[in-house]
Amino acid sequence: MKQTLVKITTEWLMRNHIWAFLFLVVIFFTFASPYFLSINNLSNVLTQSAFIGILAIGMTLVMINGEIDLSVGAILAVSVALSIGLQNSGLGIWTSVMLALFSGAMLGFLNGSLIALSGINSFIITLGGLIGIRGLVFVYTGGDALIVKDFSYTEYPEIYLGPFSITAIIFLSLIAFFQWFLTSTKHGREAYAIGDNAEAAYDAGILVKRHVVINFTICGFLAAISGILLSMRLGTAEPQAGRIWELWTIIAVVLGGTRLTGGYGSMLKTLGGVLTLAVVQNGLRLMNTPNYVELIVMGAVLILALGLDRLFTSKTRENV
Amino acid sequence: MIGEKALKGFFKRNGLLLAFAFFLAVTALNAPAFLTVGNILDVLRQVSIVGTIAIGVTFVVITGRFDLSVGSGLTLLTVIVVDQNNIVGPLGAIIMAIFGGLMVGVWNGLLIGYLKFNALIVTLAMLSLLQGLTLWYSGGANVNVHNAQTTWYAFFGRGDLFGVPVPVWILLVGGAIASFALMKTRFGRSVFSVGGNETTSKFSGINAPKIVLFAYIISGFATACAAIIMGSRVMGAQSTIGQGYELNVLAGIILGGTSLLGGSGSIWRTIVGVAMLGFIQNALLLMGFPYYIQWLVTWVVIILAVWIDLAAKRGKILT
């Protein structure tokens, strides 16, 4: 009995090694900085991680399909610009937020439909989107930053439930929901089947194209949610908001252990990846390291993650 | 009808070029300054940096892999070449930049070719790493060449040779050499073979990891050449100078019709793709559009170009 428990735990850790890694990182920073392990700081880390984190949820979904979405940073910027721009032009706060969310979902839908209809690689379609959707933001804002007029808008992120900010609560709820979505719904199970082998999934009667369109729509919608939360927190809409965040998002997801090749991954892994990224950034800043250290460490950690993944999967899975 | 089939084939293969020629004609009618020798040379000079990098990245893409680290690489190497100009002089600076570029290529190539790590992630990590190294090296400060007016280093970015800017010569001569290496040498054939079907290439006795390593080294070398041009043109550098270049490079390669899946592509197609983007951007600016309109147009053009290419190959528009 005890033997099996140990075995199960080790196997779980091998599959979810990011959590063991996160634990080590937390221990390290606890000793390295006296400010790190406090409720206040950890609550902050969680809030800061939420923006990339929510993008990472959509990215995980898309990546389990074996696709990639490079346009999430640009879609986030659209949602930031619209939510602030529309309410400044006289629409109510919640109408603007709804429209921003809708436009995010629509842009995701556009990406997904183009991929499904044309059969072009999602990397190319969303690379185009990354460039072009950012162009849409500039067309809307004229290249200038917008500043919110009604400052009550920026007070929503100040809502706290114990140590959890509303932003963090939304992030964690989304993680929980999509974890359930992946493991317990038909759509979620099909995602793995498609990522493993799209042709076999099609032969098994799965509507692959419709599935992919839905996932890209969800991805765009989530990017818009992240954008709304960011606009509330900042109160301004920079047209360059979220630039290269798609890269950080991919880094977080891959760090968690979800594979770019598709068919494998989970939201809990992604949560681990997102938190690790945030803890490393926060810890290094608390230690007063110059900003280049952060970039170098992130590069190294990413390579390390690939190495660990290789090491552990060769033990737990024979293929790949 | 003699040649009807051949004509159809020609349109299918070169539809993009014809569409582009049509676009050039329309623009020339609307903006008389567009088709002047001076403007054309200007555009070519502008695209020479992206083009030079794209030549190298084309090798990587043909092997079926990515290189997202070229933008950061360009930044780091430009900062180094500019700063070292003041310390060890132009020749030493150029040698250091080229050495740096080769090193980046070796690292990428070893991790991706030999350890078989995912190319997207490795080059993403390299992007972050090189950005960090840039900030470490420069401390975030701008660097300048002190004797910008007198140094012979100005030749690479600002010089002219037979009325054509030197960076354009570098692009064309580099392109010709790369094209020869890709089409006429054993190495070049191996690059296609690895990208087309790696397993088959292995059974044909090709050392795939080594080919991948060399492809990345070429990419790093091309980035170093671009950095030398960039530094010479600007005579200064800041830590964001190469930001986003990896996207322009990929956009040009895709527009040229090189498949990201690997196994097909050519150097001249890449140069044409990069030049097309340059002319489109130039035309939009000449016609008085704000600068960000070019991003929207790039979006539409990339997707349309790839779609048309794909549709012609499979004989129908939708999947």
In B, residues 164-183, which contact A (CB 8 Å cutoff)? Answer: none
pLDDT band at A134 (very low <50, low <70, confident <90, very high): very high
Helix axes A208-234, A166-184, angle to 10 degrees: 170
Question: pLDDT tens digits for B36-68?
Answer: 888 888 888 889 999 999 999 999 999 989 898
Q: Are B7 and B234 in contact (CB under 8 A)?
A: no
What are the domain boundaries of chain A? Answer: 38-316
pLDDT of residue A103: 95
Record: contact B303-A300, CB cut-off 8 A: no
- CA A319 vs CA A62, A196, A310, B117, B266: distances in Å: 22, 12, 11, 15, 34
d(C-alpha A256, C-alpha A264), whole Å:
11
d(C-alpha B273, C-alpha B295), whole Å:
15
pTM here? 0.89
In this structure, of A60-69, B100-109, B131-140, the range with the lowest mean pLDDT score is B131-140
pLDDT of residue B25: 83
Give the mean pLDDT of B14-43: 80
d(C-alpha B85, C-alpha B94), whole Å:
8
pLDDT tops 70 at residue B13 = no
SS (H, E, C) chain B: CCCHHHHHHHHHHHHHHHHHHHHHHHHHHHCCCCCCHHHHHHHHHHHHHHHHHHHHHHHHHHCCCCCCCHHHHHHHHHHHHHHHHHHCHHHHHHHHHHHHHHHHHHHHHHHHHHCCCCHHHHHHHHHHHHHHHHHHHHCCCCEECCCCCCCHHHHHHHCEECCEEHHHHHHHHHHHHHHHHHHHCHHHHHHHHHHHCHHHHHHCCCCHHHHHHHHHHHHHHHHHHHHHHHHHHHCEECCCCCCCHHHHHHHHHHHHCCCCCCCCCCHHHHHHHHHHHHHHHHHHHHCCCCCCHHHHHHHHHHHHHHHHHHHHHHCCCCC
Pairing of strands B236-237, B143-144: antiparallel
B293 near A CB under 8 A: yes
Q: Which residues of B touch A119 (CB under 8 A)?
A: 310, 314, 318-319
pLDDT of residue A152: 85
Record: contact B261-A120, CB cut-off 8 A: no
- What would the two tokens of residue B273 be? 């793709």
Give Cβ neighbours of residue B161 (< 8 Å, ≥ 6 apart).
Answer: B169
pLDDT of residue A319: 40
In this structure, of A74-88, A290-304, B15-29, the range with the lowest mean pLDDT score is B15-29
CATH topology for A38-316 is ABC transporter involved in vitamin B12 uptake, BtuC (1.10.3470)
- For residue B121, give the nearest of A118, A124, A254 by CB distance: A254
Q: Are A124 and B306 in contact (CB under 8 A)?
A: yes
Backbone angles phi, psi at B289, to 5 degrees: -75, 150
Whole-number percent of chain B with pLDDT over 70:
95
When the pLDDT of each residue in chain B is averaged and rounded to a whole number, the result is: 86
Record: contact B125-A303, CB cut-off 8 A: yes
Which residue pairs from B92-97 have beta carbons closer than 8 angstroms and sit at least 24 positions apart in sequence? B93/B153, B93/B231, B94/B153, B94/B228, B97/B224, B97/B227, B97/B228, B97/B231
How close, in Å, is residue B258 to chain A by CA atoms? 12
pLDDT of residue B164: 82
pLDDT tops 80 at residue A12 = no
Question: pLDDT tens digits for A183-199?
Answer: 999 999 999 999 988 88
Question: pLDDT tens digits for B222-262?
Answer: 999 999 999 988 888 888 888 888 888 988 998 888 888 88
d(C-alpha B49, C-alpha B208), whole Å:
29
ipTM of the assembly? 0.85
pLDDT of residue A316: 52
pLDDT: is B116 or B96 the higher one? Answer: B96
Q: Which residues of B touch A132 (CB under 8 A)?
A: 295-296, 298-300
Give the mean pLDDT of A221-245: 92
d(C-alpha B240, C-alpha A259), whole Å:
30
- What would the two tokens of residue B103 be? 């090193």
pLDDT tops 90 at residue B202 = no
In this structure, of A99-103, A219-223, A248-252, the range with the lowest mean pLDDT score is A248-252
pLDDT of residue B11: 63
B295 near A CB under 8 A: yes
Question: pLDDT tens digits for A86-101?
Answer: 998 888 889 999 999 9
pLDDT band at A172 (very low <50, low <70, confident <90, very high): very high
Between chain A and chain B, the number of residue pairs with CB atoms below 8 A apart is 140
Searching chain B, which residue's CA lies closest to the CA of residue A300?
Answer: B125
Give the mean pLDDT of A153-182: 91
Give, rounded to a whole angstrom, the gap between the first and last alpha carbons of chain A. 31
pLDDT of residue A27: 92
Give Cβ neighbours of residue B69 (< 8 Å, ≥ 6 apart).
Answer: B104, B108, B123, B124, B126, B127, B130, B246
Look at the block and give the residue holding tokens 């991929």.
A115
Q: Are A77 and A146 in contact (CB under 8 A)?
A: no
Q: Which residues of A touch B300 (CB under 8 A)?
A: 128, 132
pLDDT: is A250 or B154 the higher one? Answer: A250
A131 near B CB under 8 A: yes
pLDDT tops 70 at residue B14 = no
